[in-house]
Amino acid sequence: MNPRLRALQPYPFEKLRALYAGVTPPAELRPINLSIGEPKHPTPAFIEEALTRNLKGLSGYPLTRGSGALRGAIAAWLMRRYGLPAIDPDGQVLPVLGSREALFAFAQTVLDPDERHARVLSPNPFYQIYEGAALLAGARPTFYNNDPARDFAADWSAIGEQAWSETRLVYVCSPANPSGAIVTLGEWERLFELSDRHGFVIASDECYSEIYLDEERPPLGALEAAHRLGREDFRNLVVFSSLSKRSNVPGMRSGFVAGDRALLEQFLLYRTYHGSAMSEIVAAASIAAWNDEQHVRENRRLYRAKFDAVLPILQDVLEVPRPPASFYLWPRTPGSDTEFARGLLEREGIMTLPGSFLARDDAAGGNPGKGRVRLALVAPLDECVEAAHRIARYVRGL
């Protein structure tokens, strides 16, 4: 067996199952699950229809590079969404089976398994794939905290020169999971300068980029930031995006990687052996999804309605900021986050995810997720409102 597997920690939802062991929710209350970020809005009918119209795609092997039509649709979307100049669909775009598998596989492409002191930087709290990808590639995960005192932004100056010199890959998540924070142009500029100095690659996870609360202020993307700063070749930069949240198709497993053509050439080589080509059926439905924005605007409207309804209820009893993007709330808990989550299920039938399960101890021995819970507003509006009232009742009873 691969000995590196022993370095992997239990996934957050395994920890959650252990935490909830022996808990019996009230039988008279319907259970409401706010713990997992799985979109629940209906899949648009036109995407389902595109799938069924293209079932003849089952008869042939798909290309690892993906169809030219899909790469073209993604390139066109990037140009429309971020105001970018021409994106080369043949060299700067690669379809993938959702962002999760690509974020993991990309580390295996970038990192040298024989390098003994290589580091992979990751936000803290973080998506567990970043840590697992680093560990299984033989690198050392190193975390940078998303500080609430800085509106959950990273403090790049807190990372020492030695750590930067050993860094080979930096994961960025913007909008962030779980805070919804967005990396600013100034923060990107600083990170690009550090990349130029030390030669590391930046992997920007942007799977929440289309779930934002101000329709007039879409989040800044990494390629957009690079373009605005004169970095037209996107050197040492790739972005990862997905239709799962944007178009409510988590079961379709469709996304893309875009950016530095030299990196994508090597990533394509890796994927040729990895066996991760997208079905032509999924490609056809993906083209339909990337070419339509009306359903995405409607999706955001539904999420805005939930935030507008839930936040006034929760803000009466908890410290919980309104995020600029994503579908999460990240409130501070009165006391232990694990005890809060367990008690909330036991007394009110609400499942949440303790923040400490999403983070690791920092250099000072603290866990930046401790004392918070993640609430995913993915359930229907009435369930989210009912959950907010139950949470408020629970907090008042503590």
- The domain limits of the chain are 3-42+295-396, 57-292
What is residue 364's predicted lDDT score, i.e. its pLDDT? Answer: 67
What is residue 275's predicted lDDT score, i.e. its pLDDT? Answer: 80
What tokens appear for 194 in the block?
A: 């550090």
Separation between Cα atoms, residue 97 and residue 252, nearest integer Å? 8
What is residue 363's predicted lDDT score, i.e. its pLDDT? Answer: 66
The predicted model scores a pTM of 0.96
Q: With beta carbons less than 8 A apart as the criterion, state whether 49 and 287 touch.
A: no
Separation between Cα atoms, residue 232 and residue 107, nearest integer Å? 23
Q: Among residues 387, 398, 393, 397, which one has the least CA distance to residue 34? A: 387
Separation between Cα atoms, residue 151 and residue 6, nearest integer Å? 35
What is residue 320's predicted lDDT score, i.e. its pLDDT? Answer: 97
| DSSP per-residue codes, 89-118 | TTTSEEEESHHHHHHHHHHHHHS-TT-TT-
What is residue 299's predicted lDDT score, i.e. its pLDDT? Answer: 98
Amino acid at 76: A
Q: Please classify residue 42 by burial: count the beta carbons closer than 10 Å to its beta carbon, then call 0-12 exposed, 13-18 middle and 19+ buried.
A: exposed
What is residue 150's predicted lDDT score, i.e. its pLDDT? Answer: 87
Which residue ranges of the chain lie beneath pLDDT 50?
A: none
- The CATH number of 57-292 is 3.40.640.10
User: Any bridge partners for residue 80, and if so which?
Assistant: none
What is residue 208's predicted lDDT score, i.e. its pLDDT? Answer: 98
Q: How far is CA 66 from CA 6, 11, 87, 187, in A?
A: 35, 31, 16, 33
As assigned by CATH, the class of the 3-42+295-396 domain is alpha beta
Q: What is the length of the chain?
A: 398
Separation between Cα atoms, residue 377 and residue 374, nearest integer Å? 10
What is residue 49's predicted lDDT score, i.e. its pLDDT? Answer: 98
What is residue 240's predicted lDDT score, i.e. its pLDDT? Answer: 98
